[in-house]
Structure 1
Amino acid sequence: MNYLDEFLLIAVAHFFAVASPGPDFAVVLKQSVQQGRRNALWTSAGVGAAILLHVAYCVLGVALILMQSPKVFMGLKYLAGAYLAYLGVQALRAAKPGVNLNDDIADKMVPAEPVWFAFRRGFLTNALNPKATLFFMSLFTLVISPTTPTIVQVSYGVYMALATWAWFSMLSIVLCKTKVRGFFQRSGYWFDRCIGVILIALAIRVVI
């Protein structure tokens, strides 16, 4: 109970951070429409697992090194930008579906992606996101008191990882509903390109 106020502040800040549109949302949306619920849920799990990585380096003090080393942080930004740009280009290169195919046949022709690939995609998207890095660096250096026990800080991290996984899993389920997914699939050719443009725009925004 001594850390309840601190936890509530973290929970509110995390909610607004995770709910704001960004690379995580764009990737989960893309996976939900193209690959379906199972794949999207694994992508969401990857996003949630990446939160533990951010928490780990903050608890270990690596966040202080990143704050004091602009070159290291800039390297992370360029790496994140390159990864998002790669995802964007892949979306732009998606093949145009045949005009005579109905939705069921077109859906079956989408090659199934291994769940490990989905998990890895979600993990890397969040892990390489400088916005997430800045958020957790700020959280652990400005909001969480240095006197807060490590076990309590880790529990904060576990909560944020689970909350992130739950949020994107909920989005995945909603986006995979037949009517929602069908709407995007009917305009899938243009949807892929819109997502590609968004990811490339996010990559540019991350870098500059």
Structure 2
Amino acid sequence: MSARIGVITFPGSLDDGDAARAVRYADAEAVSLWHADADLKGVDAVIIPGGFSYGDYLRAGVIARFAPVMTSVIEAARRGLPVLGICNGFQILCEAGLLPGAMVRNAGLHFICRDQWLRVENTETAWTGRYEQGAEILVPMKNIDGCYVAEQSTLDELEAENRVVVRYVDGNPNGSRNDIAGIRSENGRVVGLMPHPEHAIDALTGPSDDGLGMFYSVVDTLVNV
């Protein structure tokens, strides 16, 4: 039986369909999860996709953090459920307290849409096991609130504990501290990143297929449990 990976849809989600497609590319079953429904339908992992959940009113991700589905995700994540937050999903994970720090307006105050090189810094997570340490991957990014910030003590802790998962290379596009593009939880089961691996799963439609490794990685994780 294939792994069942839930993909949440909020009002304002833009990339839930692309995330579900990436799951299917990795030979797993994509299960639709609705923001107002607390039932996770017995899925083996969850993806919180990009977009503008609830219109990003108040602050990006802050309303979504209180959605019924997120109450269940938070509880399940604390029990070890693999969770990937992409772009707005990363913002939601920070607001939910599953990852430290916060996302603020980009340096320069402009929306950024570009293909971005990343360096994989940690392959010991549920979502990066298919990559080689130090591998450089090319994936799209698109955000306006993509600048990762945290207290210096938190940054020092992330670096000391090898919890930076991916880092920007060839320039920092949004001013994120320490060139951080993505981080992980202490147990490596929860990962958040700003760029979009789900848009780089097929060389025909993306700048590369480098993002597909994240989805195969979680399938490997689930199969090997």
Please, what TM-score do these two structures have when normalized by structure 1?
A: 0.27
Whose strand proportion is higher, 1 or 2?
A: 2
Structure with larger Rg: 1
Please, what TM-score do these two structures have when normalized by structure 2?
A: 0.26
